[in-house]
Amino acid sequence: METMNRTFIIGDLHGCVHEARDLLDKLGPSPQDRVIFTGDLVDRGPDPAGCVELAARFESILGNHEENHLARRFSAPHKLSPEHLRTRASLGEAHYQFLSGLPLFIRLPEHQAVVVHAGVFPGRSIEQQDSYHLLHLQNTNGRDKKSFWPSKAPADTSFWAERWQGPERIIFGHTVVAEPFVHAFAAAVDTGCAYGGRLTALVLPEWEFVSVPSRQSAKKPGRVALYEILPGVRCFS
């Protein structure tokens, strides 16, 4: 019997290579299936280089952490955080070569979907998007370029997914959600593995989620507490 090829979109690894292998074992992709990582392979977790090497066997888009490492590759060490320096020390020329070739988005026309790291600015086509928005966008007022942390955003802003009207459904990481979700025009897959949450894959064409538990100890992702970004959808912000 012929089975339909599947596409697995896996959320931000952030150095969690063991969980990535756990999840791939659970998914059991065939050579005909596609595996796409949503970027932010590096920083935070124990094995950034291992995550880059794993992603190189499949497909990945660029995350803001990769962008940062490429932009500051030759910056003086005293200008960089200990975490940044740890990642830098683990990466070699081949890793940087791979990261420099990563796309900002991957279109999945057979699913009317696009994989991006963070978000898309409302009212613009995917090709017209600013790389800053693709890599960083959270809350927006729909006019200015700036992106706001959801918990610190002015009242006239809202999470980009509330303003994006398609036609594509955007599959994104970057913003850590308490529960992954699929809405009309957006699907969130980053469940905070590096913070002790889960590593999650979105499985197409079913639009179902498969997760494995984190092996990291629980810690808060950057900011404060759970924050409602969309009705019934909470993120850590």
Question: Residues 42-71: x/- map of binding to Mn ion (CB under 5 A)?
Answer: ---------------------xx-------
The whole-angstrom distance between residue 33's C-alpha and the CA centroid of its chain comes to 20
Please choose, out of 32-40, 85-93, 96-104, 157-165, the segment that lies near Mn ion by the rule CB under 5 A. Answer: 32-40
Residue 198 φ/ψ, nearest 5 degrees = -135, 160
Please choose, out of 28-36, 141-149, 171-179, 211-219, the segment that lies near Mn ion by the rule CB under 5 A. Answer: 171-179
Burial 188-210 (b: 16+ CB within 10 A, else e): bbbbbbbbebbbbbbebeeeebb
Residue 92: CB atoms within 10 A of its CB come to: 10
- Find, among 156, 183, 163, 182, the residue nearest to 123 by Cα: 163
Please choose, out of 18-26, 89-97, 174-182, 198-206, the segment that lies near Mn ion by the rule CB under 5 A. Answer: 174-182
Residues listed for the chain:
237
Q: 6 or 37: whose CB is closer to Mn ion?
A: 37
Among 174, 180, 191, 201, binds Mn ion (CB under 5 A): 174
Give the CB-nearest residue to Mn ion.
Answer: 174
Among 14, 19, 20, 40, binds Mn ion (CB under 5 A): 40
Residue 167, amino acid: P
- Closest approach of Cβ 199 to Mn ion, in Å? 15
Number of residues in contact with Mn ion under rule CB under 5 A: 4
Interaction with Mn ion in 124-153: which residues (CB under 5 A)? none
- Closest approach of Cβ 59 to Mn ion, in Å? 17
**Residue 4: is it exposed, middle or buried by C-beta count within 10 angstroms (0-12/13-18/19+)?**
exposed
Q: Residues interacting with Mn ion, by CB under 5 A?
A: 40, 63-64, 174
